[in-house]
Amino acid sequence: MNKGKPSLKEIKALLSNRSQARKQKNYQTADKIRQELEKRGYEIRDEQDKSVLINKDKSKILGIDKNSIGLLAVFGSGETSPTGRRIHEYLIKDKKPPVKIALLETPAGFEENPDHWYGNLAQMLEIGLAPFQPKIRIVTALRKDGVKSTNNSQTLAPLLTADYIHTGAGSPTYAVCHLKESLAYSYLINKLNRGTVLSFASAAAVAMGEYCLPVYEIYKAGHDPYWEKGLNFFQNWGLNLTIVPHWNNQEGGREIDTSRCFMGKKRFAKLLKMLPVSTIVLGIDEQTAVIFDLNKRNLLVMGIGNLTVLKKSKTTIVKSGKRHSLLF
């Protein structure tokens, strides 16, 4: 393809080819075309029945304001706790009742009863956020194939009308496998860009990073320490972040070090050496969330713990209640 200044005809042809690939559920090809359009200065936002093309040189095209990105929260743990309730409330405080909430089950799709985790969360939100009159839908997109697919627009429909979307409990590597290059994943990116609030916890938080920590494989199955490629969700806003929740976990007591998302300090030190220096590690304490304001390019730490930022050989602690620039 010609890498020079693209003609409108050429751009329309690329957009048409991408739409055709999406109709055929060839999301890998569609993603390559999206990347090509991005190289040429355009951004694509997928809606339920169409794709919107935006020239990145302009702040507002076709009614979409680039300064209206929604808040994004990443929990270290505690999304169903009283602390978590206060964080959920903070995230939707500017939304008018009734607030539509969608809970995406994909990370727990491998479990016998994924509704257990998300049903409990739905019950907590319904009670804890009662003043906002929450209308909660559980999105049963469990895997890439089948009826309950992460590529099934009918299954994913509640995401398109949601004011607030959350996904969390499950397996990080399973989440990566079944969200990668999926329609559900593209919805998450586009909804955030259009002002919808998102939050990730547990497995989803790990999966969304540049590198994904295979928690179950290492901690439960005894694999040697390694990383897998994550979904790199934050790269869409120029951030190379690797997320490690449960940073100060103490479930192992004095006998077993389960900090650093159950890896322990010694094992995590080995894992840290395996990462390229370009990635920034965010270690999020239990009962704590990091809230990204991508419009103002800063973050806020909420909850009872802290955020630990590891960049090359530098460690920065951001305490609860404090803001920090995204220029780490």
Whether the CB-CB separation of 216 and 162 falls below 8 Å is answered with: no
Q: How far apart are CA 43 and CA 36, in angstroms?
A: 10
Q: What is the pLDDT of residue 111?
A: 93
Pair of tokens at residue 238? 């120029």
The share of the chain scoring above pLDDT 90, in percent, equals 74
Nearest to 167 by CA among 146, 138, 191, 194: 138
Q: Do residues 247 and 260 make contact, with C-beta atoms less than 8 angstroms apart? A: yes
pLDDT at 232: 97
Joined tokens for residue 52: 């919107």
Residue 264 backbone dihedrals phi, psi, to 5 degrees: 85, 155
Burial per residue of 22-42, b for 16 or more beta-carbon CB atoms within 10 angstroms, e otherwise:
beeeebeebbebbebbeebeb
Tens digit of pLDDT per residue, the chain (328 long)?
A: 444 556 776 777 778 778 777 777 788 888 888 888 888 877 776 655 566 676 655 433 333 345 689 999 999 999 999 999 999 999 999 999 999 999 999 999 999 988 889 999 999 999 999 999 999 999 999 999 998 999 999 999 999 999 999 999 999 999 999 999 999 999 999 999 989 999 999 999 999 999 999 999 999 899 999 999 999 999 999 999 999 999 999 999 989 999 999 999 999 999 999 999 999 999 999 999 999 999 999 999 999 999 999 999 899 999 999 999 998 8
Report which of 250, 240, 326 is spatially closest to residue 290, judged by C-alpha positions.
326
Which is nearest to 192 in space by CA: 129, 157, 250, 236? 236
Taking CA atoms, 7 is separated from 1, 14, 39, 44, in Å, by: 12, 11, 14, 17
Query: Taking Cα atoms as reference points, which of 327, 318, 325, 328 lies closest to residue 76?
Result: 318
User: What is the per-residue pLDDT for 95?
Assistant: 96
Q: Which domains does the chain possess?
A: 8-65 (no CATH), 72-325 (3.40.50.880)
pLDDT (0 to 100) of residue 196: 97
Give 304-312's long-range contacts (Cβ < 8 A, gap of 24+): 304/83, 305/76, 305/247, 305/248, 307/282, 307/283, 308/247, 308/281, 308/282, 308/283, 308/284, 309/280, 309/281, 309/282, 309/283, 310/272, 310/280, 310/281, 310/282, 310/283, 311/280, 311/281, 312/277
